[in-house]
Amino acid sequence: MSIKIKFGTDGWRGVIAEDYTFDNVRRCAQGFAHYLLDHGKHGQWVVVGYDKRFGSEHFAAAAAEVLAGNGLNVYLTQEATPTPVIAYAVVDKRAAGAINITASHNPPTDNGFKVRNETGGAIDPEGLKAIEAAIPDEVSQVKRLPLPQAEAEGRIVKFDAATPYIEHLTRDGLIDLQPIRDAGLKVVVDSMWGNGAGWFTRLLAGGKTQVIEIHNGRNPIFPEMTRPEPIPPNINAGLRATVEHGADVLLVTDGDADRCGIGDEKGQFINQLRVYALLTYYLLEIRGLRGDIVKTISTTTMLNRLGELYGVRVHETGVGFKYVAPKMLETDALIGGEESGGYAFRGNVPERDGILAGLYMLDFMVKTGKKPTQLLCNLFDKLGGEYFYDRIDSPFTGDRLAREKMILGANPATIGGLKVLELSTLDGFQFKLEDGGWMLIRFSGTEPILRVYCETRHGDRVKAILEDGLRIAGLAPLNAHRTHTGQSQLSSRPTPGA
């Protein structure tokens, strides 16, 4: 009997050769084909792309064959392609949606299957449930048209997705690349053996700015990191390279380049909540733009403060772009993002874009003439003080319902010595604290992990908040875990660069 395939926060992911097999990918593709046909998309085009993980191009071809076998036509990327570029191709080609073969930041053992709608954005939760329900129990129920035949009949066409995306960045007013090229910056780029390789070099070529790339080949075991997720310790090699080269900034893209990590000129990691606040501050203050902000429950309240200061609304959603993308479209939001380092921008597709996020950080530096540490100090001055964040991930395979009941019944009066004001169960269990901070306990939607997160105005309370969170969740004490960010943000205010 075939396994039951469940779509999590962002599609389906599994262990290669264990549950992530050609047969199961074909079953997923059949479910998506049924979904599209049920929505009147017969004969329309669908984009299929992939990353640099083991076998991804072959899994993508298998998915394309199924779509073609169901009366759909396929634009298949000619090479491993960043997720935001695949998303833009949907709009550029006026396609009905997309399949993206990628496990994003997961460990090297995994691969994944993402689906997107006609906007290039994530499909909402109800749509994902409909796709799940349409996945056949057996591969014998899958329709296929072999790749050679489909190509000969023009039903599967390989194409270049890069050029239209690059033209879109400048034509549609998202970014002016020439000032960045002319600025003479030294930029280290860590593409984490993934789809972001070569992109900043290509975009910024021809000027005084120098781009130094590391981890820019294909290596699906991801050496020098545990997984292609743009946080420490995975980016430690990039942080060292920043110091060794005397670079102005480190830009990191994850495995499929939809997420962006930042290191400052001193080789220090800027956590993803601070990056989200910096990007929002840049759009509101430096670019003078206005529009709503969409944030997941697990990301920073710095955005709420920026919303107050600039008179824009802030919307909070569950975790995942299946919630963020629809809310961005509904509100014509200026920016949307999540704690994992994924940010989307108005004027682009409603999809995380690690390439554009990196370019915006460079533009922020160029337009202000300041280094990342200085920009962070300016942000904190605007907000009236610092915000501190950390997260712990713990493997979890027990009875989820019993654990949820235990957490719900804890009812703590204080966490980390701070009074608990409110409990939100929008996605997990978020305890809102008296200093405007919070502690969140939630189950990962992509891996068998229970996460404990916190943000606070008091750097000296982070450890205590996490310890209380672990206790409430019934997990091992703090000394049994490595914190998600390696305590990199528990230090005092950054010293501005020269």
For the chain of 498 residues, list the mean pLDDT of each consecutive stretch of 10.
82 94 98 97 97 98 98 98 98 98 95 96 92 96 98 98 97 96 98 98 98 98 96 97 98 97 98 97 98 96 97 95 94 96 96 98 98 98 96 90 94 96 95 96 87 96 96 84 47 38
**339 inside domain:** yes
- The strand ranges marked E within 183-224 are 186-190, 210-214
212 and 354 inside one domain? yes
Measured from the Cβ of residue 312, the count of other Cβ atoms closer than 10 Å reads 19
Provide the pLDDT for residue 64: 98
Structure tokens of 28?
């997923």
Domain that holds residue 430: 388-480
400 and 375 inside one domain? no
The amino acid at residue 424 is: S
Structure tokens of 86?
């695949």
User: 313 and 105 in contact (C-beta within 8 Å)?
Assistant: no
CA distances from 7 to 124, 128, 227, 406, 449 (A): 11, 7, 21, 26, 16
Residue where one domain finishes, among candidates 383, 408, 434: 383
Contacts of 248 (CB under 8 A, 6+ apart): 185, 186, 187, 265, 365, 371, 372
Measured from the Cβ of residue 249, the count of other Cβ atoms closer than 10 Å reads 24
User: 310 and 290 in contact (C-beta within 8 Å)?
Assistant: yes
Provide the pLDDT for residue 481: 65
Pick the closest to residue 432 from 442, 421, 444 (CA basis): 421
Query: What's the DSSP call for residue 133?
Result: H
Residue where one domain finishes, among candidates 383, 416, 441: 383
237 and 322 inside one domain? yes
374 and 227 inside one domain? yes
Query: What's the DSSP call for residue 135?
Result: S
CA 487 – CA 482 distance, rounded (Å): 9
69 and 210 inside one domain? no
371 and 422 inside one domain? no
296 and 315 inside one domain? yes
**485 inside domain:** no
Provide the pLDDT for residue 493: 39
CA distances from 42 to 36, 37, 219, 317 (A): 7, 5, 38, 33
3-state helix, strand, coil in the chain (%, to 5): 35, 20, 40
CA 90 – CA 45 distance, rounded (Å): 9
**402 inside domain:** yes
Q: What is the dihedral of CA 203, 206, 207, 209, to 10 degrees?
A: 50
Provide the pLDDT for residue 11: 86
Pick the closest to residue 200 from 358, 67, 9, 409 (CA basis): 358
212 and 347 inside one domain? yes
CA 258 – CA 109 distance, rounded (Å): 20
Cα within 13 Å of Cα(350), Cβ side: 27
137 and 17 inside one domain? yes
255 and 206 inside one domain? yes
Residues 169-187 as b/e (b if ≥16 CB within 10 A, e otherwise) read beeeebbebeebbebebbb
**498 inside domain:** no
Cα within 13 Å of Cα(51), Cβ side: 33
Question: What is the domain count for the chain?
Answer: 3
**5 inside domain:** no
Residue ranges in 252-338 assigned as alpha helix (H): 272-281, 302-310, 321-331
Cβ contacts of 439-444, under 8 Å, gap ≥ 24: 439/415, 439/465, 439/466, 439/468, 439/469, 440/297, 440/298, 440/469, 441/407, 441/469, 441/472, 441/473, 442/298, 442/319, 443/396, 443/400, 444/8, 444/9, 444/393
**496 inside domain:** no
99 and 211 inside one domain? no
349 and 408 inside one domain? no
* 3-state secondary structure at position 19: coil
